[in-house]
Chains A and B, each alone.
Chain A
Amino acid sequence: MRRVRVPVYPAPRVPGGKVSILEISNLSLSFGGVKALQDVSFRVPENTVTTIIGPNGAGKTSLFNCISGFYKPQQGTISYEGQVLSSGIKPPRRAALGLARTFQNIALFRGMTVLDNIKLGAHVHMKSGLLSALAYFGPARREEMSVRKDVEQRIIDFLEIDHIRRQPVASLSYGLQKRVELARALAMQPKVLMLDEPVAGMNREEKEDMARFILDIREEWGITVLMVEHDMGMVMDISDHIAVLNFGQVITEGLPSDVQKNPEVIRAYLGNSDIDSLRRKLNPEEEAA
């Protein structure tokens, strides 16, 4: 199952030309009077790293929950691979279709080892029933062994977590827990991998590792990454496409360099002030040039 590493040259950095694997149109979600999302539209081009940024409470995680099927938006549609995901398609089915995710506050299963947590990700692609599980004979055993092999060779090796596979997840450091969560999402064999703040609370080295993994996942495995992240350095470095959310609305979307310069974005992040001076602060190189 291991893929040979093929050198990938920078893809044309214009996501506009690519097919979108996920398309959000006019999505609105409210809880009582609180409008979490208002008329949100943007697209996730296939095989890109697409990032949603925005201040706290802008609705980024709510958007993820809508895509996962955990929240039911009042209006709008989510199309995945050209098909509209109606609200009747429940979260487990969406997982089976190839929408995998990690969570903002790590959601590992504390009663299981690292290995079992990762294997759990493969759940939707496994078939063995209760009777063969009770006997652990025949199909159930073979299936478990092939999942174990796949998880070991494809994921544990790739994410460099072989030294902790036997440990209970509760004993791991924050950075490693995030990595195990990524491993679990990869075991779901996703087409779209949604990462909710993958480097929050990490130190510099851990962030660099995570950024490398995310890029490799896109380049080597061909998985589209949809990410929510606050670390602007990393977002600008690894994203192909960025959508900016503020107060439940998409302000702009586009290439990192365009988004960076957008006055609306600067205003959303830094408040309404003298735009030009703020822009100079954000892009010191530009001033020097």
Chain B
Amino acid sequence: MRIGDAKQSYEADEAIWTSHTQKLWFGLFLLILLLFPFMADSYLLYLGCLVGIAVISTTGLNILTGFTGLISLGQAGFMGVGAYTVAWLSLNTGLPFPVTLVLAGLMAAAVGILVGLPSLRVKGLYLAIATLAASVFLHFIFAEWESVTGGMGGLSLEPAHLFGWSFQSDFMMYFIIVPLAVLMVFAARNVFRTRIGRAFIAIRDRDISAEILGIDLLHYKLMSFALSSFYAGVAGGLFAYFFRVVTPESFPLSMSIFYLAAVIVGGMGNLLGGILGAAFMTLVPEALKLITAALTPFYPDAPVFMSPMLEIIFGALIVGFLIFEPHGLAEIWHRIRRFFRLWPFRN
């Protein structure tokens, strides 16, 4: 049981980690993240990078949908904007990756602000449809603006580089993607310690009274769109550096739904939930494939049965989570923490 939670200053009370135990566990977690690429095989490393990219994008969508209450189906489109920005910049300018990634984020943020403009008037499903229209429109631009995007064939790009280093392998990319993901999740956490994060949540909970309390709705809704698409743009840029080819088909509508599902399964309005949701959505299909492979020696027909079943099982898992854990994976985590905090007592 955890006791002795006395604080001397407001600063200490509002810190992200309020106890040594938390700091210790988090340090351990960072250590594992650092050592992971040295232990993992290429397949796990590939998955690690994918999860990192998904965490960034899901965190972005969580800011918009989970915290500000604006449903968006445009996340894949914003990632596409980021990816094409990085691809175009690396082909035409040769700028190092920190610059291209920031520009990708800013470009996506600008597009996000445009797409967010209807959000003052339309809410809920209507906004989802408006953002859906935007993502279809973006897809059209990716496919048709051949002089910039390379049309349906897309663009291939050089590996990310900085100070003469070239980040060719997944191993190298891991050291860009994961630190950036950690940094960006922390930045999002910081936003929700300030007036801006409170304004977002207020808009989600009661927009009319938020306005009467002094929150300019359009300003903060657009800010949320901009911030969310900045995250998507950076994730898209990393996606481009990771796969080194960007085509219009890299960012289908199903990807937007994938991220929305990650936010919901993880826990809306919970940053930890976004991380868990991103990991769940990325890893479970892979785990199902591994299970299929493991079954094959015993049931030679397993792949025949399982491959069409994978999608169904995956969907059923999501539905199951929504029914049994409507607050998402984050709630399971909180329950575990509560248990250990009170241990050896119960409740």
Asked if B10 is at the interface (CB within 8 A of a chain A CB), the reply is yes
Q: Which of B13, B195, B204, B269 contacts A122 (CB 8 A)?
A: B195
Complex CA gap A128/B194 in Å reads 8
Could you show 20 A-B contacts with beta carbons less than 8 Å apart? A69-B212, A70-B211, A91-B211, A92-B216, A95-B213, A112-B205, A116-B201, A122-B195, A123-B195, A123-B215, A130-B191, A133-B191, A134-B188, A134-B190, A134-B191, A140-B194, A144-B194, A144-B195, A149-B10, A188-B214
Complex CA gap A110/B206 in Å reads 9
Q: Which residues of A contact B201 (CB under 8 A)?
A: 109, 111-112, 116
Q: What does the 1/0 interface line of B218-229 toward A look like (CB < 8 Å)?
A: 000001000100
Complex CA gap A116/B199 in Å reads 10
Complex CA gap A287/B163 in Å reads 96
Complex CA gap A260/B143 in Å reads 76
Does B195 lie within 8 Å of A128, measured CB to CB? yes
Does B199 lie within 8 Å of A120, measured CB to CB? yes
CB nearest neighbor in A for B203: A109
Q: What does the 1/0 interface line of B171-196 toward A look like (CB < 8 Å)?
A: 00000000000000001101101111
Q: What does the 1/0 interface line of A78-109 toward B look like (CB < 8 Å)?
A: 00000000000011100110001101000101
Complex CA gap A263/B61 in Å reads 61
- B contact face: mostly helix, strand, loop, or mixed: helix
Q: Which residues of A contact B11 (CB under 8 A)?
A: 145
- Looking at the assembled complex, report how far the CB atom of B189 sits from the nearest CB atom of chain A, in whole angstroms: 8
Does B206 lie within 8 Å of A107, measured CB to CB? yes
Known: A109-B206, A111-B201, A145-B10. A92 touches B194 (CB 8 A): no
Choose among B201, B204, B212 the residue with the greatest number of A CB atoms under 10 Å from its CB: B212
Asked if A202 is at the interface (CB within 8 A of a chain B CB), the reply is no
**12 additional A-B residue pairs with CB within 8 Å, beyond A100-B213, A116-B198:** A68-B212, A91-B212, A92-B216, A101-B212, A107-B208, A120-B202, A120-B213, A130-B223, A130-B227, A135-B190, A144-B193, A144-B194
Q: Which of B10, B193, B209, B213 contacts A136 (CB 8 A)?
A: B193
Asked if B266 is at the interface (CB within 8 A of a chain A CB), the reply is no
By the criterion of a CB under 8 Å from any partner CB, how many residues of chain A are at the interface? 40
Asked if A19 is at the interface (CB within 8 A of a chain B CB), the reply is no
Q: How many A-B residue pairs have CB under 8 A?
A: 101
Asked if A119 is at the interface (CB within 8 A of a chain B CB), the reply is yes
Complex CA gap A129/B70 in Å reads 21
Asked if B237 is at the interface (CB within 8 A of a chain A CB), the reply is no
Complex CA gap A109/B199 in Å reads 10
Complex CA gap A126/B195 in Å reads 8
Asked if B41 is at the interface (CB within 8 A of a chain A CB), the reply is no
User: Which residues of chain B in 230-286 are interfacial with respect to chain A, using CB atoms and an 8 Å cutoff?
Assistant: 269
CB nearest neighbor in B for A125: B214
CB nearest neighbor in A for B202: A109
Complex CA gap A34/B93 in Å reads 64
Asked if B77 is at the interface (CB within 8 A of a chain A CB), the reply is no
What are the 5 closest A-B residue pairs judged by CB atoms, nearest first?
A95-B214, A124-B214, A136-B190, A107-B209, A109-B205
Asked if B197 is at the interface (CB within 8 A of a chain A CB), the reply is yes
- Looking at the assembled complex, report how far the CB atom of B172 sits from the nearest CB atom of chain A, in whole angstroms: 26
Q: Which residues of A contact B216 (CB under 8 A)?
A: 90, 92
Complex CA gap A142/B11 in Å reads 9
By the criterion of a CB under 8 Å from any partner CB, how many residues of chain B are at the interface? 32
Known: A70-B208, A95-B214, A109-B205. A120 touches B198 (CB 8 A): yes
Q: Which residues of A contact B194 (CB under 8 A)?
A: 128, 133, 136, 140, 143-144
Does B214 lie within 8 Å of A112, measured CB to CB? no
Asked if A148 is at the interface (CB within 8 A of a chain B CB), the reply is yes
Asked if A206 is at the interface (CB within 8 A of a chain B CB), the reply is no
Does A92 lie within 8 Å of B214, measured CB to CB? yes
Known: A95-B214, A134-B190. A103 touches B209 (CB 8 A): yes
Does B196 lie within 8 Å of A133, measured CB to CB? yes
- Looking at the assembled complex, report how far the CB atom of B277 sits from the nearest CB atom of chain A, in whole angstroms: 18
Choose among B188, B194, B210, B213 the residue with the greatest number of A CB atoms under 10 Å from its CB: B213
Known: A110-B205, A111-B269, A136-B190. A119 touches B198 (CB 8 A): yes
Complex CA gap A70/B213 in Å reads 11
Asked if A184 is at the interface (CB within 8 A of a chain B CB), the reply is yes
- Looking at the assembled complex, report how far the CB atom of A128 sits from the nearest CB atom of chain B, in whole angstroms: 6
CB nearest neighbor in B for A68: B212
Complex CA gap A130/B199 in Å reads 12
Q: Which residues of B contact A152 (CB under 8 A)?
A: 10
Choose among A123, A130, A145, A148 the residue with the greatest number of B CB atoms under 10 Å from its CB: A123
Q: Which of A96, A103, A133 contacts B197 (CB 8 A)?
A: A133
Does B199 lie within 8 Å of A123, measured CB to CB? yes
Complex CA gap A135/B211 in Å reads 26
User: Which residues of chain B in 77-95 are interfacial with respect to chain A, using CB atoms and an 8 Å cutoff?
Assistant: none
Does B212 lie within 8 Å of A70, measured CB to CB? yes
CB nearest neighbor in A for B188: A134
Asked if A121 is at the interface (CB within 8 A of a chain B CB), the reply is yes
Q: Which residues of B contact A184 (CB under 8 A)?
A: 213
Q: Which of A122, A128, A134, A149 contacts B187 (CB 8 A)?
A: A134
CB nearest neighbor in B for A102: B209
Q: Which residues of A contact B191 (CB under 8 A)?
A: 130, 133-134
Q: Which of A68, A92, A116 contacts B215 (CB 8 A)?
A: A92
- Looking at the assembled complex, report how far the CB atom of A38 sits from the nearest CB atom of chain B, in whole angstroms: 24
User: Which residues of chain B in 1-28 are interfacial with respect to chain A, using CB atoms and an 8 Å cutoff?
Assistant: 10-11, 13-14
